[in-house]
Structure 1
Amino acid sequence: MRVEIWSDIACPWCYIGKARFEAGLAAFAQQYGSHDVEVVHRSFELDPNAPAATDVPVLDMLAAKYGVSREQAEAMEARVADAAAGEGLAYRSDRIHGNTFDLHRLLHLAKAHGVQDALLGALYHANFAEARNLADPAVLSETAVAAGLPADEAARVLADPEAYAQEVRADEREAAELGATGVPFFVIDRRYGISGGQPAEVFRQALERAHEESAAVQVLPAGDGEVCGDDGCALPGS
């Protein structure tokens, strides 16, 4: 079984959705085993036009994007933080909003080395739990090497803006072809699609169904799953 997950490191619901999916996969594995489940992370940029080097705080970006006050932006982030805490995840709102293209390029390099999931988890943690500025090449390189990438190869990719650029763009085109308008977006065996950071039980049921049935790709009802798209990120209860 193959699970493809389109996500962006800047997306809080991708961070939360990864934890929920892993919980659902663990529940599925208790009955069926997980040795035959391949998880592949795909690229999706929420803000491809964001500047590569930036010092814009996320709270300022949210206030400007939604036309709300700083206090209202803080309240929005607090609700997302509560959802993250529900999954045992740390969440800070003093993050920097920036471009994630280089991060996605490194994730393709990480796939070649078999450490893609480890790097994605490290990037999420650095961004959301530690509020580190991943637009800083030194911080990004340190995070990549700690996740298992060779330092020289990470440096080579970061120095060459064309390295894995086509792979990132291909992932994004494929997401559009599959009908993904936001992330996280999960596709199981190209038969079932799940949009948003659904509860773990939704993932368990979808994995079980894909394991037992053969059907055309169909997007399962979104329910209360939260998603980030061009218009921003949904909030719990909105």
Structure 2
Amino acid sequence: CIFEYIYFSRPDSIVGGRSVYDVRKAFGAQLARESHVEVDVVVPVPDSGVPAAIGYSQHSGVPFELGIIRNHYVGRTFIQPTQSVRELGVRMKHSANRAAIEGKRIILIDDSLVRGTTSKKIVRMMRDAGASEVHFRLASPPILYPDYYGIDLPDRGGLLAATHSLEEMREAIGADSLAFLSIDGMYRAMGEPGRDPANPKFADHCFTGVYPTHLTDQTQVEPQPRQLSLLAEAS
């Protein structure tokens, strides 16, 4: 599953012969190649966005700063049962490091965007702490389809990218700009020439809608034109 490299595995893991830490840095560097914008500092959304932010900073030459401090005594917010509990968890989990971001143009780097709850709160937090511009970059493609193999993702109606265009997502989270890593860019960052539609090297159904097994209790849905258009926008 491609999410082992994006989010689930510990950064010091070796999965399929690849260093997860190095892959995540490569995702960040590829993001910088694809969608860089002039900013003063690169700020990771801790902790899952840190390696990609390091890669983005190293490739772009923009300084890396810990503009967000994470409370490590709060658990993962995206798996909480209700939206109100998730929003409370975000407020408890992150705080702004004003000294690193006040008066600066910042680019936030996170691993992925699911519902947009965390992203929206963090963009607002950065503005409240004095950031003059807040740009957002995701080190994975837009999540358009649910997972049925163990990842706790909502149905399509709860996935921001499945129900909004790129511009609508940018407006929803309140960022000055928004961009995702392209699917081919994700594969290239892993040392592949790109995604081979006839023989994908990883389970990437959350992005493509192409599931590796028949979904016996679901209606198989082919990628719709709007979703294909969104993937093209993101690349």
Provide TM-score, normalisation by structure 2. Answer: 0.29
Flag the structure with higher helix content: 1
